[in-house]
Structure 1
Amino acid sequence: MQFYDVINERKSIKNFKNTPIQKDKLDRILTATIMSPSWKNNKCFKFILVDNETQKQELSMAVMNNVNSASNSVTQAPLVVVVVADPSSSGSIDNKDLYLVDSGIAMEHLVLACTNEGYGTCWIASLDEDKIKKTLCIPDKYRVVAMSPMGEYSDYDDNQSNKDTINDHICLNKWDSPYEGIH
């Protein structure tokens, strides 16, 4: 797939087949993930891959409002990816914690690489961090940033995808000046 095709094809998927992830594809996805840029090249994040059914069930219970489609997708998918980060291994500028940025960029690399390989994902960040830390034995110094189910998807509701236009989010030179191209 071409780069812009990958971006256009990426969707939040919540219905998965239980088909195992192919190892060669997973290796490419994980390589793309760790190639992400980070503040001062400090890779403060770790990704935990979960395929154990009991742990996936526990993770689904850690999704806030754990009776919705996001929670169900965690138990349905063949693999769940949990991204954690060590804030002390990153930096902060003007009270902005860069571990969140670094982890977010790495997670986006994962999401786009999954799309490129034909797998779906759904970024989930509304989580009970303590439940996840207990389930996965994560040390106290780490923060749980997000998780995503990953796998082949069985169907997709195209009505949930509302692609914004450039003018919805881009301004030129000042806040209230819509971008209409550079002259």
Structure 2
Amino acid sequence: MEFYDVVENRKSIKKFKSTPVNAEKLARMINAAMMSPSWKNKTSYKFILVDEKQELNQISKAIMNNDNSAAQSIIDAPMTAVVVADPNASGEVENKEYYLVDSAIAMEHFVLSATNEGYGTCWIAAIDEDIIKKALSIPQNYKVVAITPIGEIAESKEHYDKKDVKEFVFSNTWDNEYTKNTK
């Protein structure tokens, strides 16, 4: 898939087939995440790949949202990736904690790679961190940043409408609308 096709095809998927994730495809997804940049190349994050049903059921209990779809996606998907980071292994500049940025970049590389490999994902960050830490024996100095189920897609879903460039992109100053090459 071409890069921009990957970006356009990535959607938040919550219905999965039970087919295990292919090991070669997973290796490429992991490699993509490991190629992501990090603040001063400190790489404060780690990935935990969970495919045991007992742990997936425990993780699903940590989801905090208004319906059960995200929790159910963790139960149904053959695997879930959990991104954790040690805040002390990264930097902070003007109250910006770079472990969050570094983890998000790595997760995005992973998610886009999964899309390229034909898998669905759903970035989930509304979680009860303590439940996940206990279920996966994560050391206390680590923070759970985000999780995503991974698997073959079992739903047809349209992408959300593209954001209006005029509302979100400016040229040189805050009040100067960007109008070049917008589609």
Aligned residues: 181
Kindly provide the CA deviation profile for residues 119-174 of structure 1, in whole angstroms up to 9, marking residues without a partner as x. 0000000000000000000001000000000010111332x622213223111111
Shift of 1:65: 3.2
Query: Are 2:34 and 1:51 equivalent residues in the alignment?
Result: no
Alignment partner, residue 171 of structure 2: 172
Given that residues 83 and 147 in structure 2 are in contact (C-alpha distance below 8 angstroms), is that contact kept between their aligned partners in structure 1?
Answer: yes
Q: Which residue of 2 aligns with 1:79?
A: 79
Structure 2 unaligned spans of 5+: none
Q: Which runs of 5+ in 1 are unaligned?
A: none
TM-score (norm 1): 0.95
CA contact (8 A) 1:59 1:135 kept: yes
1:32 corresponds to which residue? 32
Deviations 1:34-70 (A, max 9, x none): 0000000011000000001011011011001374211
Alpha-carbon displacement from aligned partner over 1:101-129 (angstroms, at most 9, x marks no partner)? 00000000000000000000000000000
Between the aligned partners of 2:28 and 2:11, the Cα distance in structure 1 is 20
Name the CA distance, whole Å, in 2 between partners of 1:33 and 1:136: 20
Distance 1:66 1:142, change over 3 A: farther
2:2 equivalent to 1:2:
yes
1:136 and 1:178 map into 2 onto residues whose CA distance is 47
Greater shift, 58-67 or 145-154, is seen at: 58-67
CA distance in 1, matches of 2:67, 2:170: 39
Residues 15, 76 of structure 1: 8 Å contact kept: yes
Q: Which amino acid aligns with 1:168?
A: E
CA RMSD of aligned residues (A): 1.3
Which contiguous aligned blocks of 4+ residues in structure 1 show a shift greater than 3 angstroms? none
